[in-house]
Amino acid sequence: MTTRRKFIQTAGVAGAATLAVPAVHAQSKIKWRLQTYAGPALAEHVIKPAIDSFNKIARDEMEIELFFADQLVPTGELFRAMQKGTIDAVQSDDDSMASPTEVTVFGGYFPFALRYSLDVPVLFNQYGLKQIWEEEYAKVGVKHISAGSWDPCHFATKEPINSLADIKGKRIFTFPTAGRFMERFGMVPVTLPWEDVEVAVQTGELDGIAWSGITEDYTVGWANVTDYFLTNNISGAWIGHFFANMDRWNELPDHLKELVNMCFDSSHYYRQWWYWGGEANLRVKGDKMKLTTIPDAEWATVEAEAQKFWDEIAAESETKAKVVAKIKEYNDVMAKAGRPYRYT
């Protein structure tokens, strides 16, 4: 028979063993669905490498599933879908996804605010735009993760553009703010689903595209249906962002937030050199589009009109006025710094 002393000794050993072994709880992998503004061919460069890297590093802890333009929801509904939690994260500009914030008008191509791709990270990280964007999106339940510079905005058209008069009456697929500005010169902005643009040019529904630089024209197939590329641009860089549903972001442990930030920053960096090199290389070596140019003196009238446009936007709200003030301050510094920052 087991004595009382033996029982206590045995139970003590068993209890100690039980306490020494930590409880193991199965943890389910965190899964996000992210939709980009880009179609499949473009996404291979502007987002997929970063997502592949993230999933490789995160391994069993988290996975981001990537969806292309309009695959889950139309691009114009991206913000609402993310805000509601239908999708978890978005890569887009504010303008295209119909953000209801005060900074939406500056997304995509805000005319002539930027000359080079490096202007974007400097404005956000040294001139305070990052804080403004974070505050505006926090008000509507969305996490602004980061901003990056993408390609410049040029015209790719069926007919040559050699003067401002050639723009009049042209039906052009472009971003809302860029279209709003270029209407002053007779352009007719047209909004279509991204995947319908190439066919619309072929059928004559569109006369051209002002949505990208020459790198994207070649990458996504638009260079196959347009014959001319205008070297003058409406903006030297696109402002694009990564966003996430605020609740989903807050659920992430700190180390995964850091990993998201690092991988998305790598995406911004990839685009910076890919576009910068691609724009020059295809202007020189590309064989699908002929280059045209509007004389500097004539194009200067467009740049001067942009300054008036900025002031009109600034008058719409206090937040917009703050952003325009930052853009003016930055451009003033760049102009005074001279070459290589700005050329007169």
Residue range 148-173, pLDDT digits in tens: 998 999 999 999 999 999 999 999 99
In CATH, the architecture of 30-150+238-281 is: 3-Layer(aba) Sandwich (3.40)
Angle value at C-alpha 38, between 205 and 28, nearest 5 degrees: 145
What is d(CA 330, CA 342) in angstroms, rounded to the nearest whole number?
Answer: 11
In CATH, the architecture of 153-237+290-337 is: 3-Layer(aba) Sandwich (3.40)
pLDDT-based confidence at residue 112 (cuts at 50, 70, 90): very high
Instruction: Give the pLDDT mean for 93-100.
Output: 93
Instruction: Give the pLDDT mean for 61-83.
Output: 96
Listed in sequence order, the residues at least 6 apart from 53 whose beta carbon sits closer than 8 Å to its beta carbon are 263, 266
Express each pLDDT in 254-291 by its tens digit: 999 999 999 999 999 999 999 999 999 999 999 999 99
Looking at the predicted structure, is the pLDDT value of residue 25 above 90? no
Spans of all domains in the chain: 30-150+238-281, 153-237+290-337
pLDDT at 14: 46
Do 187 and 205 contact (CB within 8 A), yes or no? no
Find, among 272, 300, 342, 304, the residue nearest to 45 by Cα. Answer: 272
